Amino acid sequence: MALVGTAVVALVLVTIRERPSDTGAQEIERIDPKAVKESSGGVHLPMRGVESSGPIAYEHMLEYADGSMKLINVRATTERDGRTFVIEAREGHAPADRSTINLVGDVRLSSGDDLRVRTSEAEYNQTQHVVRARKRVNFTKGSMSGTSQGMTYREDRDLLTLLDRVKVRVAANEGRGPADITSGFAEYARADKLIRFERSVRMVREGQAISAASAVARLSEDEQRLEALDLHGGARIETPDAAPGGLQAMESREMNLTYGPDGETLERAVLSGKAAIAEAGRAGAARRIAAEMIDLSLSPGGGIERMAARERVQLTLPPDGETPERIVRSRSMSGTGGPDGGLRAARFEGSVEFRERRAGEPDRVGRSRTLEVAMESGGEIEEARFAGGTRFEDGALRTVSDEARYEVAKGMLQLVKADGGRNPSVEDDRLTVEAPAIGVGFEGPALDASGGVRSVLRPKQQGTNGGRERAVPGMLEDDEPVYVTAERLQYAGGDGLATYTGGARLWQGETTIHGHTIVLDEKTGNLTADVDPAAAKPGLVRSAFVLDDRHETTGEVTQVPSTAVGRSLKYEEEHRRATYTTDARVTGPQGDVQADRIELYFLEEGGSLDRAEAYDRVQMKDPQRSATGARLTYFGGEGRYLMTGAPVKIVRECDETFGKSLTFWRSTDRILVDGNEENRTLTKTGGTCAGQRSK
């Protein structure tokens, strides 16, 4: 215990011993022994005659013998035009003239309230008011962020320039996904509210891609919305998944885009220089419009509301199933869209060409000064109206008219005469038709002409009509044109029938046929003519022609004018037979014959009568005789008549001959009665015939 007590006393003595006094100042720890001057916590740095952009704050400042200095945790602030510019770094190195500061380590630049730029190294030129960085840069501005290899920032103009490998992302907003932008260069002029992109610009957002050599984005006053985007050099916008009626692609050398108040909805697009747009259709098929200039006003859904195009305009509608490809060319075009998007009506002006391309067939081509088309929502043309010097070609078929209406789905072309204009016309290798109104059906083809029809059937030519030969009725010459007029013509090419109605008249040389209706069958060579059954006085079918008459004894050939009438005429090429029925009457080499029905049979070479047949209530007259009976046959080559009946009567001068059958000759007095030759059977009495004897 004595030892413990001694130790405690010694410890107390040591602790209460007086401390030695301080003999000098405390030594300061140096940051850099090479510095000739150091200071801490400064807020302003003189620049030796160079006007500072603003106060520069630092945590430490080191000055060296050569006049250079180093700033640690430096912050430079400038107030300009109501905005504050700040640049910060871990270190700043300034040369003796203090004109620049090389910033190293977590360099941060801010302008206004939301522009932020970060990099690892930068140079701040206080004389030029410029910040330059060569290494990777990260930046943010509102909803926009991105990176670049190198940048410059002009403090006096609030101009940020991104030098290379620029990548920008605009964040998603209001239900829309983010947008990504890449380019080789970009410049953000905040004072002008412009962002300029250069070198292979590409912008992608929600399946839409925009590309160009360069682009200029114009921002709203608060820089929060995109108001317009100008694209230059190979501009293209692609939306592969656009809904039918929406714009699938746009391209041109220059493109000016205007956006709505939301900064998202494209309201207008002006495309200049080899411009083209593609509008999405069904099954992926897109219709395309190309021109030197296209001006589009767009609906909120991205479809066309209005459009105008100029110079070398071409609308291309792709094939779809059995629908052929259709192309329209003109000097200018204007159009409007439907409520569900998509072009629904268009007007073309100046040297219009409408073309349908069908596999294995000639193109169907229409030309005019103007064209108006109406389209379905799916993009197909419903109707096309042509005006001014309209011409159509479809293989051998050609049309000319002032105006035309093409009902595309039906394949029908309606040709119309304008006020004071000329009648439309249709022609192919055999037929020409003129009338005030003509309907043309391309399939067949088919015609329906009205209002006073004039037509010409030209002589057939070898190898024409697509290999199909058109037959000419044997009572007509096949090497001369045939003319037909009527109030109306209906032609069914598939059946080969041409039906003329209303005062129909056919003629070729001295051959004419008149009737209410005349029907020509080009496949068989048949012909029919009829009266109007609904008329109060139907009248008669009338025909006139010239027949070659060969004398049965001398062989001399003469041409004899002939006429034939009846309520109807039917010519059958197979039998080379013309049949007149009801009140029939024929005059010609055979004489003047009347009957209920008369048949004329023509020789193969045409122009000559082989024989004539008359049925029921037959009456025959010639200069030498008259005869009545039930049936008459005339043999043209022999000049012989065979008449049968109960009885047959023939009258020559003062003689009457009766029998069941009579055979007589045109040029002689020879008569066969019931097969027996008789000269006279009954002598008339009275008058000049009185006193003559009967045998």
pLDDT of res. 197:
95
pLDDT average, residue stretch 504-517: 94
Each residue of 40-67: pLDDT tens digit? 887 765 444 445 457 788 888 888 888 8
Same structural domain, 480 and 555 = no
Helix or strand (DSSP H, E) at 4: helix 2-15
Higher per-residue pLDDT: 465 or 512: 512
Cα 406 from Cα 326, distance rounded (Å):
13
Minimum mean pLDDT among 131-145, 250-264, 270-284, 319-333: which range? 270-284
Q: Which two tokens stand for residue 460?
A: 């057939």
pLDDT average, residue stretch 23-39: 71
Longest CA–CA span in the chain (Å) reads 215
Same structural domain, 410 and 453 = no
Per-residue pLDDT band for 194 (boundaries 50, 70, 90) equals very high
Domain annotation covers residue 179: no
479's CB contacts (< 8 A; 6+ apart) are 459
Higher per-residue pLDDT: 414 or 100: 414
pLDDT of res. 135:
93
DSSP 277-342: EEEE-GGG-EEEEEEEEEEEEE-TTSBEEEEEEEEEEEEEE--BTTBPEEEEEEEEEEEEE-TTSS
Higher per-residue pLDDT: 655 or 399: 399
Boundary residue ending a domain (518, 553, 568) = 518
For residue 15, the 8-state DSSP code is H
pLDDT of res. 556:
76
pLDDT average, residue stretch 422-436: 91
Same structural domain, 305 and 331 = yes
Domain annotation covers residue 567: yes
pLDDT of res. 283:
62
Is 50 exceeded by the pLDDT of residue 468?
Answer: no
Is 90 exceeded by the pLDDT of residue 514?
Answer: yes
Q: How far is CA 380 from CA 77, 279, 408, in A?
A: 65, 12, 9
Is 90 exceeded by the pLDDT of residue 536?
Answer: no
Per-residue pLDDT band for 645 (boundaries 50, 70, 90) equals confident
Query: Side chain identity at 492, as an amino acid letter?
Result: A
In b/e form, how buried is each residue of 284-294, taking b as 16+ CB within 10 angstroms? Answer: ebbbbbbbbbb
Domain annotation covers residue 16: no
pLDDT of res. 476:
80
pLDDT average, residue stretch 508-526: 92
CATH, residue 655:
2.60.450.10
pLDDT of res. 542:
95
Give 390-437 as a 3 state SS string. EEEEECCEEEEEEEEEEECCCCEEEEECCCCCCCCEEECCCEEEECCE
Same structural domain, 549 and 587 = yes
The number of C-alpha atoms within 13 Å of 169 and in the hemisphere containing its C-beta is 9
Same structural domain, 466 and 586 = no
pLDDT of res. 610:
87
Cα 568 from Cα 558, distance rounded (Å):
28
pLDDT of res. 378:
66
Each residue of 578-617: pLDDT tens digit? 999 999 999 988 889 999 999 999 887 767 888 899 999 9
Q: What is the SS3 assignment for 250?
A: strand
Domain annotation covers residue 560: yes
Boundary residue ending a domain (403, 422, 441) = 422
Q: What percent of the chain has pLDDT over 90?
A: 44
Per-residue pLDDT band for 3 (boundaries 50, 70, 90) equals very low
Which backbone phi and psi does 4 adopt, to 5 degrees? -60, -45
Domain annotation covers residue 20: no
Same structural domain, 370 and 402 = yes
Boundary residue ending a domain (393, 422, 451) = 422
pLDDT average, residue stretch 432-439: 94
Is 60 exceeded by the pLDDT of residue 162?
Answer: yes
pLDDT of res. 465:
45
Instruction: Show the domain range for 504.
Output: 427-518
Same structural domain, 304 and 407 = yes
Same structural domain, 470 and 360 = no
Q: Which two tokens stand for residue 645?
A: 């009946």
Q: What percent of the chain has pLDDT over 70?
A: 87
Cα 405 from Cα 423, distance rounded (Å):
15
CB atoms within 10 A of CB 44: 11
Is 80 exceeded by the pLDDT of residue 689?
Answer: no
Same structural domain, 597 and 673 = yes
The number of C-alpha atoms within 13 Å of 92 and in the hemisphere containing its C-beta is 28
Is 70 exceeded by the pLDDT of residue 92?
Answer: yes
Minimum mean pLDDT among 510-524, 545-559, 634-648: which range? 545-559
Is 50 exceeded by the pLDDT of residue 557?
Answer: yes
pLDDT average, residue stretch 264-293: 88
Same structural domain, 498 and 571 = no
pLDDT average, residue stretch 497-526: 92
Same structural domain, 304 and 359 = yes
Which backbone phi and psi does 282 adopt, to 5 degrees? -80, 150
Q: What is the SS3 assignment for 11?
A: helix
Pairing of strands 397-407, 381-394: antiparallel
pLDDT of res. 423:
93
Domain annotation covers residue 97: no
Mean of pLDDT over the chain:
84
Each residue of 222-261: pLDDT tens digit? 888 889 999 999 999 998 888 877 888 999 999 999 998 8
Higher per-residue pLDDT: 33 or 475: 33
Domain annotation covers residue 359: yes
Domain annotation covers residue 436: yes
Same structural domain, 494 and 562 = no
pLDDT of res. 655:
79
Minimum mean pLDDT among 205-214, 472-481, 574-583: which range? 472-481
Number of structural domains in the chain: 3
Q: What is the SS3 assignment for 200?
A: strand
